[in-house]
Structure 1
Amino acid sequence: MLAVQDMTLGYGDGPTVVGAVSVVVRPGQVLAVTGPSGAGKSTLLSAMAGLLPPRAGAVAVDGQRLRDRDHAVERKVVLIPQDNGLAPILTAAENVHVALLASGVAPAQARRLTAATLDRLGLAPQADQLVDELSGGQQQRTAVARGLALSGAVVLADEVTSELDAGNRQRVLDLLHEEARRGAAVVFATHDPEVAAACEAELHLSDGAAVLRRG
């Protein structure tokens, strides 16, 4: 379970980006985080991932308050970032494989999971292509494949359908809902109202405030 408790966020000495937000995402649930550009969606997911310390309040996973990103990784919090975070000098398969090895998966199992997850994203033909050779949408799906392969207890997906066509957007959305059915707590930041409508709840950010809407 992911719990955000009266959390306020900002950068350095700058203004508050998100103020006093509280929300709980239970295993099996998908929460959409919506709002205009600059409203703080990526900021909120960064804090949920342990990358940004809150000015006030806390993020907890299964009752344990997150200290930093390393602690979040220990608690199996997976972040699929908006900028994809892929290593351009590696292939699509290597990007997934290396992440699995780093998480402690045995090499043979990591190879199997890499192939299976890329196939689920329709990327089997691109498995051995360098990231720099992939289109923006293919890179985005590779990042999703890497995140899903890690089988997190919490999956945070930041605008991961922005460069996808309708078919691949639905594919990714279906896979995120599959993660929830597996037992993950899923948070999906999106500009797309149709994507948000398919989630159990929506947290709308605007002018530093957060409003929770149930589906």
Structure 2
Amino acid sequence: MRTLTVEGADLAYGDGVPVLTGVTVTARPGELLAVTGTSGAGKTTLLSAMAGLLPPAAGRVLVDGDPLLDRDQGVKLGVVLIPQDNGLAAILTAEENIAVAMIATGGTPAEARRGTSTSLEKLGLSGQAGQLIEELSGGQQQRTAIARGLALHGDVLLADEVTSELDAANRQRVIDLLRAEADRGAAVVFATHDPEAAAACDHELHLADGTAILVR
């Protein structure tokens, strides 16, 4: 399993003013790290950098001590991102979205079938496997995106506000599944504005006023 480190990073879009400055934090195998802060504090920005989508304007993002240069490298290193907007293809079914992602990252069709079935079952979505994404509710779409992320069995799992559309029971189900990923040995980073969800994590990085403070 891999360790992901952000080291003295300034994060900005283009030539704009940095959203975050001097961020230093480590996501370690077997641990669940909460990233908290108000809307606009930079949670998505930080996870984008951790995923290799946003190169730091200063500082570095490292995976096992080596610089993370882009998203393609992140995928090869097993850095899985569950984005806030779910990133699902609306014209595909729930099971097709998951199977395509598994095959694209090296899984066989047989592995994709098994992994898809298992991950949908974990999220209580077996009955929606054959439905188009556009036919699903917002909460079901969010759970499908989570199921896809879990099916990829990443060494690092980045989950961006993945419980925002969920009721209390499904929110707890997802938190338990993220904990299970950490117990499996993955380094899990969970961006959330929910204090109860953050409290269930091992550590918390709080973002405010362009800075990041490890509060526990």
TM-score interval for Structure 1 and Structure 2 normalised by the shorter chain: over 0.9
Query: What is the CA–CA distance in structure 1 between the aligned matches of 2:194 and 2:20, rounded to whole Å?
Result: 20
Instruction: Output one character per residue of 1:50-90: Cα deviation in whole Å (capped at 9) or x when no partner.
Output: 00010001111111110100011111000000000000000
Asked if 1:63 corresponds to 2:65, the answer is yes
Query: In structure 2, the residue corresponding to 1:112 is in which secondary structure?
Result: helix
Structure 2 counterpart of 1:190, which letter? T
Q: Give ranges in structure 1 of 5+ residues lacking alignment.
A: none
Structure 1 residue 15 displacement after superposition: 1.1
Q: Residue 20 of structure 1 aligns with which residue?
A: 22
Q: Distance in 1 between matches of 2:212 and 2:136?
A: 36
- Alpha-carbon distance between aligned partners in 2 of 1:20 and 1:115, rounded to the nearest angstrom: 42
Distance apart, 1:12 and its partner CA: 1.3
Instruction: Calculate the TM-score normalised by the size of structure 1.
Output: 0.99
Which residue of 2 is the match for residue 143 of structure 1?
145
Which amino acid letter does the alignment assign opposite residue 45 of structure 1? Answer: L
Could you tell me which of 156, 179, 195 is aligned with 1:193? 195
Residue in structure 2 matched with residue 155 of structure 1 by the alignment:
157
Q: Which residue of 2 aligns with 1:37?
A: 39
1:169 aligned residue: 171
- Deviation string 1:154-201 (CA, Å, 9 cap, x unpaired) is 000000000000000000010001000000000000000000011011
Q: Which of 124, 127, 132 does residue 126 from structure 2 map onto?
A: 124
**Per-residue deviation, 1:120:** 0.4
* Aligned residue in 2 for 1:9: 11
Q: Residue 14 of structure 2: SS of its match in structure 1?
A: coil
Query: What percent of counterpart residues are identical?
Result: 69
Which aligned segments of 4 or more residues in structure 1 are displaced greater than 4 angstroms? none
Q: Quick one: distance in 1 between partners of 2:60 and 2:190?
A: 19
Unaligned runs of 5+ in 2: none
How far residue 16 of structure 1 moved from its aligned partner, in angstroms, is 1.1
Q: What is the TM-score of this pair, normalised by structure 2?
A: 0.98
